[in-house]
Amino acid sequence: MTLKADDTKLLRAALGKRSRAELKRLFAMVRTHPDRALFAATLPAKKKAPKRKGDPLVRELEQTLKPIMGPSHEKADLLIEHIAKKHKRKLTFQPKGLAEATRQLRTKFSDDQISAGAKSLVLHLAKLYGGSDGVV
């Protein structure tokens, strides 16, 4: 069985300047695997969805409260207590972390107020416990 001229041209264009050994290996692979597997192998890899950056205010609060040693939920509790005292409000939030605390605080305060509250909390704790690297 001989190849048609169009098929020969297609093979030359597709396989280009491959060595004889590479071509033998390629033809053997084509014979042994079904079309579906070969098509799947030649398709480009699926692009992963980009990771969400997250809330910029939460990232800012994490950076601001970094000097406070302790888990995220304790930092969130301290922040809520401090903002409640500062604004003379009663807040009964029980957050599990800074992200949840930020969401809850946003219902009552602006982003600027929350950010300022975090900065004043760090300054307040630094005054209370001295100017060491770790505040608490």
Mean pLDDT by 10 residues, the chain (136 residues): 84 85 90 90 83 86 91 92 91 88 92 94 88 55
Number of domains in the chain: 2
Give yes or no: residues 64 and 125 share one domain.
yes
Asked if the structure places residue 85 within a domain, the reply is yes
pTM over 0.95: no
Asked if the structure places residue 114 within a domain, the reply is yes
pLDDT of amino acid 134: 54
Determine the Cα–Cα distance for residues 77 and 93; give it in Å rounded to an integer. 8
What does the block give as tokens for 124?
């307040």
Give yes or no: residues 20 and 79 share one domain.
no
